[in-house]
Amino acid sequence: MPTIDERLRQVTLKIKRAKEHVADLEREVSAFLDTHPYVIATKRNPQTRQLIYYVSSLRDTPESLPLLAGDAIQNLVSALDHMAYQLVCCDTGDKPPNPNRIYFPIAEDAAKYEAKKRGKIEGASDDTVKAIDALKPYKGGKDLLWVLNRLNNIDKHRLLITVGSIFQSVNIGAHATAYMQRAVDADPANPFHGTVFPVLDLFLKPGDAPIPLKIGYEIFTDEPVAEVNQKMQFRFSVALYEPQISEAQSLVETLHQLVALVESIIAALKPRLK
């Protein structure tokens, strides 16, 4: 009989490989953002004369990003399937009744999970099933696990995962500091006259930023009397966009969350190995 460490070896290798893909992805995203792919320009609203900052040009995200994301996701799902196989092997004395059809059970909802879970881990003991039940591997239970499974199905059987640029936040601290500086400088009687104020950092996230980001998207609207502030800071990121699954979520952050999730599941189920 294999030892527990031997049973976990292939599971941990799959997770390790997923982490390597995530690291490669993170480097690719950083390299892309370092090229300054987004150009911001200003214009005036012809009616109100408000100053508008908008995206005047941008470059497409690298084609490698959804490929790397898909590879990481597939390795994570594979790690769970390997774990399910080892659990069934432990419960059957390494004689699973249906070894070619063992999968970690993840479902669209609790009812579908209950209906299909036994078929995916045929041979598993009641205690093992209860241990998996406790993880609530379905939408409405552990939603992030459901997201992992849905993204994997899309990548394997339909299309590459949708990835695109998104506007993340604007630093209105520079905007506020500039207004405060002008007010103080214009009033010699102000006790702070002559003081140079440090630029504050106050990043605000928009509630309606489109993904993928489009040329012409208006990032920030200033007052009619405003002058162009060269110190305004705008942040962008690369995000997932799969409607009703994962919309406008940071690609890198989501993958780190998925890795941590799978590691926690493996740790929770490890006591069932023997």
pLDDT at residue number 203: 78
Look at residue 101 and tell me if it is in a domain: yes
pLDDT at residue number 141: 97
* Residue 75 phi, psi (nearest 5): -65, -35
Answer whether the bond into residue 66 is a cis peptide, omega within 30°.
no
37 touches 58 (CB < 8 A): yes
Could you tell me which residues come within 8 angstroms of residue 115 by beta carbon, excluding any fewer than 6 positions away? none
Look at residue 145 and tell me if it is in a domain: yes
Look at residue 207 and tell me if it is in a domain: no
Look up residue 108 and give its two tokens: 């669209």
Look at residue 125 and tell me if it is in a domain: yes
pLDDT at residue number 21: 97
Report the C-alpha dihedral over residues 135, 141, 147, 149, rounded to 10 degrees.
50
Reduced to 3 states, what is the DSSP secondary structure of residue 202? coil
| Domain carrying residue 150 | 4-161+216-229+250-272
Give the CA distances from residue 176 to residues 75, 172, 180, 245, in Å, rounded to whole numbers and listed in that order. Answer: 47, 6, 6, 37
Look up residue 248 and give its two tokens: 């406008």
Look at residue 58 and tell me if it is in a domain: yes
How far apart are the C-alpha atoms of 238 and 40, rounded to whole Å?
A: 17
How far apart are the C-alpha atoms of 171 and 231, rounded to whole Å?
A: 9
Single out the residue of 234, 168, 231 nearest to residue 200, CA to CA.
231
* Residue 240 phi, psi (nearest 5): -80, 145
Q: What is the pLDDT along the chain (274 residues), one digit of tens a residue?
A: 889 999 999 999 999 999 999 999 999 999 999 999 999 999 999 999 999 999 999 999 999 999 999 999 999 999 999 999 999 999 999 999 999 999 999 999 999 999 999 999 999 999 999 999 999 999 999 999 999 999 999 877 777 888 999 998 888 777 777 777 777 888 788 877 788 878 777 777 776 777 889 999 999 998 888 888 887 889 999 998 887 888 788 999 999 999 999 999 999 999 999 8
Sign (positive or negative) of CA dihedral 103, 240, 212, 242 = positive
Sign (positive or negative) of CA dihedral 46, 47, 53, 59 = negative
How far apart are the C-alpha atoms of 230 and 194, rounded to whole Å?
A: 21
pLDDT at residue number 142: 96
Look at residue 82 and tell me if it is in a domain: yes
pLDDT at residue number 2: 87
How far apart are the C-alpha atoms of 107 and 133, rounded to whole Å?
A: 12
How far apart are the C-alpha atoms of 172 and 50, rounded to whole Å?
A: 16
pLDDT at residue number 162: 86
CA 203 to chain centre: 20
Give the CA distances from residue 212 to residues 73, 81, 200, 236, 252, in Å, rounded to whole numbers and listed in that order. Answer: 21, 33, 29, 11, 16
Look at residue 78 and tell me if it is in a domain: yes
pLDDT at residue number 242: 82
Look at residue 171 and tell me if it is in a domain: no
pLDDT at residue number 167: 92
How many Å is the Cα radius of gyration of the chain?
A: 26
Domain count, the chain: 1
How far apart are the C-alpha atoms of 75 and 52, rounded to whole Å?
A: 45
pLDDT at residue number 248: 80
- pLDDT, one tens digit per residue, over 252-262 is 999 999 999 99
